[in-house]
Structure 1
């Protein structure tokens, strides 16, 4: 990669994006951020911040000027929205616009942040760990509008690769750590457990990865990843019950012991979504989230370790950092 020019991070003020920007600064990169909701947070270094939407072609043209590497993270990260069309507008059409404009510039690498949901799929019943050899599913095989929008966006990236864009795709699993200002689903889940708002849980498989490792994985994908390749950025496979035990041991808070069957969880999620449509508040659980929890969600993450030399970070430490940040910012009772 060229040592000159900007590294553009779309969604650079989101959870993963903030950590990615800091990691790029530490590597001596000139960083430019495009985000719909920039705030006054100061990075540990100079950052060129633009306020705007990835749906705005004019701002896209501006931020791509002088850029050598693009990290496209901007998306609606939640598993529920009052208007489901927002997922397709931002996650899919926004990606298409950025791809089309990026092809006009001498980009060295375009790293697209996909989602584990695209690989797992609602109807994925195999007991084998999921890896990058798994073909992309059909839209109807996915659990909801979020994952379907990310699938369509990823297909657009593959098409752009065929047209000459040097893109690489990464799939973060469940990132944990400090700084999740938007309270994405993983952090919201931890917050609710710590606040005692979740009285029972659905046993399921999870793959956790410290958010700092996810940030590093993005940079390594740009530096060492092969064009057109896909890399799962994950680390620790575990059961939900194992995560709850880790929370108890690390943070000293009692976790729920009662399990609920899938049928009860999906019914509860439907009721919560109905209530959310009335009060316009994010539901504690979504139908898409429960459907995802009902799939395999066990990942083989060895490709990123072998080909990108992705480091292993401490998951318990990341959990402590997440809890500390939640407490510091008034999210814990």
Structure 2
């Protein structure tokens, strides 16, 4: 449930919090899309007594057990909590790609993670769940297992892969530390923006075209299933890498069919060759570079063409696989946003 944000009084962080037997958690990036959904679930969990939302923007969810702590991972973390933190969900990141300068991804995603680990070591925090990305692998016609060595070719993917390496070193450097790295595919749900919202809009208007064909694999996950995965990952011991996607990742054609089934559309979707799509996008990208903003970018066109196929089958044996089918997830998303379109 969304609860309007109420600013904290200055004294709220200085007063001693009451002793509680419940778990204490911290969420970096807790004011964002995924963080907000995670926060909703933790608020509803009676076993959680205190939630520290560590972000540069205040949370819009608020209740007695939520405390907002301004945290900018471009600098060292100075926050000293009033209770021992049982688990940190580390979501804060520069993630839109394209959208930032090359160095910005590394300063927050990699160096920011190192700053957070320094803080966690100081407070003797032993359990971290890290939201990485399937983009630690180069997109293409490859099926990627969690055990494979990352092969990113973008600043976003490389910075996340380096952060994973930092977390691995931190986990191994002291006995009793636990880290779960969760690599989601494309995440969709209420408040997501981005790829799935754009796809919905294009299908609704009848303007969507396959780039290269309908068989491009697009690993993805509904945000509610991702939150359940992350919460389950917090119970794992040692080092784990989990791919947040359907055990059998859908193709772009299957995703489009699911949208059409849920919304009752009949669409004949054309196919455009990649080279032709890139040539058509070039003038619009040039306008972008001249300051005339539009959503077309070479990288976005390429992302429609290249597969992002990460193997989520390992979630089945851990009982952490998505519980919503693709159609059920899109239907639930639609219903949550009604009467407006999914957003």
TM bin, normalised by shorter chain, reads: 0.7 to 0.9
- Asked if 1:201 is matched to 2:214, the reply is no
Can you list the C-alpha shifts for 1:82-119, whole angstroms capped at 9, x where unaligned?
Answer: 53322222222211211121122222310111101113
Paired residues of 1:5 and 1:66 also in contact (CA < 8 A): no
Gaps of 5+ in 1: none
- Show the counterpart of 1:135: 149
**Superposed displacement of residue 186, structure 1:** 3.4
Aligned to 1:67, the other structure's residue is in SS state: coil
Give the aligned CA root-mean-square deviation in angstroms. 2.9
More helix by share: 1
Structure 1, 318-327 or 21-30: larger mean CA deviation: 318-327
- Asked if 1:149 is matched to 2:149, the reply is no
Paired residues of 1:179 and 1:322 also in contact (CA < 8 A): no
Gaps of 5+ in 2: 1-19
* TM-score normalised to structure 1 length: 0.82
Can you list the C-alpha shifts for 1:128-159, whole angstroms capped at 9, x where unaligned?
Answer: x322121222xxxx342221221222222222
Aligned to 2:166, the other structure's residue is in SS state: helix
Matches within 5 A, 1:38-57: 38-39=58-59, 41-42=60-61, 46-57=65-76
Matches within 5 A, 1:1-333: 4-28=22-46, 29=48, 30-39=50-59, 41-42=60-61, 46-59=65-78, 61-62=79-80, 66-119=84-137, 121-122=138-139, 124-126=140-142, 129-137=143-151, 142-164=152-174, 165-180=177-192, 183-196=193-206, 198-202=207-211, 203=213, 204-224=216-236, 226-235=237-246, 236-255=248-267, 257-268=269-280, 270-279=282-291, 281=293, 283-287=295-299, 289-324=300-335
**Superposed displacement of residue 255, structure 1:** 4.4
**Superposed displacement of residue 74, structure 1:** 0.8
Larger radius of gyration: 2
Paired residues of 2:259 and 2:330 also in contact (CA < 8 A): yes
CA shift in 2, pair 1:73/1:273, >3 Å = farther
Q: Answer 1 or 2: higher relative contact order, Cα 8 Å, separation at least 6.
A: 1
